[in-house]
Amino acid sequence: MQEMILILDFGSQVTQLIGRRLRELNVYCEIHPYNKIPTLGENVKGVILSGSPFSVRDEKAPIADLSNIKGKLPLLGICYGAQFISQHFGGEVNGSIAREYGRAMLTVVDEQSPLFKGASKTSQVWMSHGDTIAKLPERARVIASTDDVENAAYKIDGEETYAVQFHPEVFHTKEGPQMLANFALGICGCKGDWTPDSFIDNTVASLKQKLGNDKVILGLSGGVDSTVAAVLLNKAIGQNLTCIFVDNGLLRKNEFEEVLDSYKEMGLNVIGVHSGHLFLEKLKSVTDPEAKRKAIGSTFIDVFDAEAQKIEGARWLAQGTIYPDVIESVSVNGPSCKIKSHHNVGGLPEKMNLKIVEPLRSLFKDEVRRVGRALGIKRELIGRHPFPGPSLGIRILGEVTEEKLRILRDADDIFIKSLRNWPCELPSASYPNEMADNLYDSIWQAGTILLPVKSVGVMGDERSYEYTIALRAVISTDGMTADWVHLPYEFMAKVSNDIINKVKGVNRVCYDISSKPPATIEWE
């Protein structure tokens, strides 16, 4: 069994970052809610308690049952986690005396502590707590302090329990990665053998065992997740996997053909279904964004289902679900409201009566890309920007028509190709810690939007009255928040010129400089 570290989530906004940092150390970890502790098998090498928006002194403060953990397994409490251990094991937490937010300088008091091995005596840490640990829990001693907070880190003697008031997982804690490595690889003794190659070997073996000789169907979208899932399954069960790639008539210029060719080159058993006409028919006169999404989503389900019915004896539906989609979140402020209906093919599994297999369920997005790279998938495919299921259908504001699709496709093609051809010296958006190949690679998502307004211009000696194209380029980590990219002026000048000169029907180009929130990435 893969060795792992269990992260118990008390609802902090940065809990996922703890997971990310451990995975970067090639240590497998899982995030579970504080009140749903899974069975602790021998493969669990240690436990981390996350931060929380609560104070331990709140009436409704989350309480975890650590009876099978504390003193039995290495344990690291972070922020709320540190206060929780203190509060429940003989210490005392109180408010307001030494609130600390933001950067602070940590001084290591116990230089022999394995938690600080290889770390500087003083280094910057990130604090975010209103409460402070006034009295340490039983048998505990201070191992690091800041100017304002004496008990910034402690260790309980006689057991491998450590606690830190600061957040080692956030970027601003300069030596946080070293401290987390000390905990996971040193104190917990993890081997750090969770690599893309080991993931591939283990996953292929378990898929073989799970699926045997069964037939599996998978919907390919051209996106990273479904592509990597397909290649993994293909490695495990070969021709028993049938992939279905639907041309909804709303894809980017030449996208369907190019991506289909790549899939075939990779040896995937893939059926390409041309059904653009059907989608366009269903979109006729539909102008409301949500109605468009629903029309596209339900047509997709019908097309996919009809195609899947032709595959005799299929028992499984494979999906490219990834870890952020399955982490059960600790609800702190009640369920979040739905802003757009993103899960447009949500009804598919129920309708098809197939069992679900999700080979990427345990991976973060950048890990999916690394696995894709280890599987030998072309960089153009695994470095692709996210693209919404309803495709260009939600980038043409208002009714979708053939003519508008032609305009948007041509403009989009110019923008995307120009991004790919523009050199830059920025970090890659797809692989943290690596440099981007070009401007495209440094951006999380980019595209063009066709606005439903015409405006006046001049072309030669004539007055024109044509459409406006908006360019959108954002950086983000998960699409939940996003910032607009500061594209170079020379780049924007060139793209604007190219679009206006080459795309018939456009006489104006704008750049969207809104962040999310309050704007969204897509305009519909």
Among 117, 174, 342, 454, indicate the residue that binds ligand XMP (CB under 6 A): 342
Note if 274 is an active site residue.
no
Among 173, 240, 321, 344, indicate the residue that binds ligand XMP (CB under 6 A): 344
Q: CA–CA separation, 290 vs 298, rounded Å? A: 12
CB 504 within 8 A of CB 465: no
Among 172, 315, 340, 361, indicate the residue that binds ligand XMP (CB under 6 A): 340
Letters for 348-387 (x = contact with ligand XMP by CB under 6 A, - = none) are --------------------------------------x-
Least CB distance from residue 485 to ligand XMP, whole Å?
14
Note if 257 is an active site residue.
no
CB 196 within 8 A of CB 373: yes
Length of the chain: 524
> Contacts with ligand XMP in 177-236 (CB under 6 A)?
none
Least CB distance from residue 343 to ligand XMP, whole Å?
7
**83 contacts ligand XMP (rule: CB under 6 A):** no
Q: What share of the chain is helix, strand, coil (3-state, %, to 5)?
A: 35, 25, 40
3-state SS, residue 410: helix
Segment contacting ligand XMP (CB under 6 A): 13-21, 313-321, 407-415, 513-521? Answer: 513-521
Segment contacting ligand XMP (CB under 6 A): 22-30, 193-201, 211-219, 515-523? Answer: 515-523
**522 contacts ligand XMP (rule: CB under 6 A):** yes
Segment contacting ligand XMP (CB under 6 A): 16-24, 251-259, 408-416, 514-522? Answer: 514-522
**388 contacts ligand XMP (rule: CB under 6 A):** yes
CB 226 within 8 A of CB 320: yes
* Parallel/antiparallel/unpaired status of strands 153-156 and 161-164: antiparallel
Note if 79 is an active site residue.
yes
User: Closest Cα to residue 467, out of 505, 431, 500, 516?
Assistant: 505
Q: CA–CA separation, 362 vs 19, rounded Å? A: 11
Least CB distance from residue 419 to ligand XMP, whole Å?
16
Letters for 277-306 (x = contact with ligand XMP by CB under 6 A, - = none) are ----------------x-------------
> Contacts with ligand XMP in 396-425 (CB under 6 A)?
none
Q: CA–CA separation, 119 vs 1, rounded Å? A: 32
Least CB distance from residue 249 to ligand XMP, whole Å?
16
User: Closest Cα to residue 398, out of 291, 517, 297, 252?
Assistant: 291
Least CB distance from residue 312 to ligand XMP, whole Å?
30
Which residue of the set 3, 100, 160, 169 is catalytic? Answer: 169
Please return the burial class of 202, using the count of CB atoms within 10 Å of its CB with bins 0-12, 13-18 and 19+.
middle
Which residue of the set 100, 129, 160, 167 is catalytic? Answer: 167
Residue 370, token pair as written in the block: 């690394």
Q: Applying CB under 6 A, what is the total number of residues that bind ligand XMP?
A: 14
Least CB distance from residue 246 to ligand XMP, whole Å?
13
Q: CA–CA separation, 293 vs 291, rounded Å? A: 5
Looking up tokens 């894809």 gives: 251
User: Closest Cα to residue 341, out of 293, 392, 413, 303?
Assistant: 293
Least CB distance from residue 342 to ligand XMP, whole Å?
4
Segment contacting ligand XMP (CB under 6 A): 74-82, 320-328, 340-348, 397-405? Answer: 340-348
Least CB distance from residue 364 to ligand XMP, whole Å?
16
Nearer to ligand XMP, 175 or 522 (CB): 522
Nearer to ligand XMP, 197 or 325 (CB): 325
CB 292 within 8 A of CB 257: no
66 Rama sector, left if φ>0, alpha if ψ -120 to 50, beta otherwise: alpha
Least CB distance from residue 40 to ligand XMP, whole Å?
36
What are the C-alpha distances in Å from 479 to residues 419, 482, 520?
Answer: 20, 6, 9
SS (H, E, C) 167-182: CCCCCCCCCHHHHHHH
Please say whether the dihedral angle defined by the alpha carbons of residues 170, 173, 176 and 177, taken in this order, is positive or negative: positive
Which residue of the set 3, 29, 79, 160 is catalytic? Answer: 79
Least CB distance from residue 353 to ligand XMP, whole Å?
23
DSSP per-residue codes, 10-70: -S-TTHHHHHHHHHHTT-EEEEEETT-PPP--TTEEEEEE---SS-TTSTT------TTTB
> Contacts with ligand XMP in 426-455 (CB under 6 A)?
445
Letters for 237-276 (x = contact with ligand XMP by CB under 6 A, - = none) are ----------------------------------------
Nearer to ligand XMP, 189 or 346 (CB): 346
Among 479, 495, 503, 509, indicate the residue that binds ligand XMP (CB under 6 A): 479
Segment contacting ligand XMP (CB under 6 A): 13-21, 250-258, 367-375, 388-396? Answer: 388-396
Kind and range of the H or E run holding 295: helix 289-309
Footprint on this chain of ligand XMP (rule: CB under 6 A) = 293, 340, 342, 344, 386, 388-390, 445, 479, 516, 520-522
Q: What residues are labeled active site?
A: 79, 167, 169
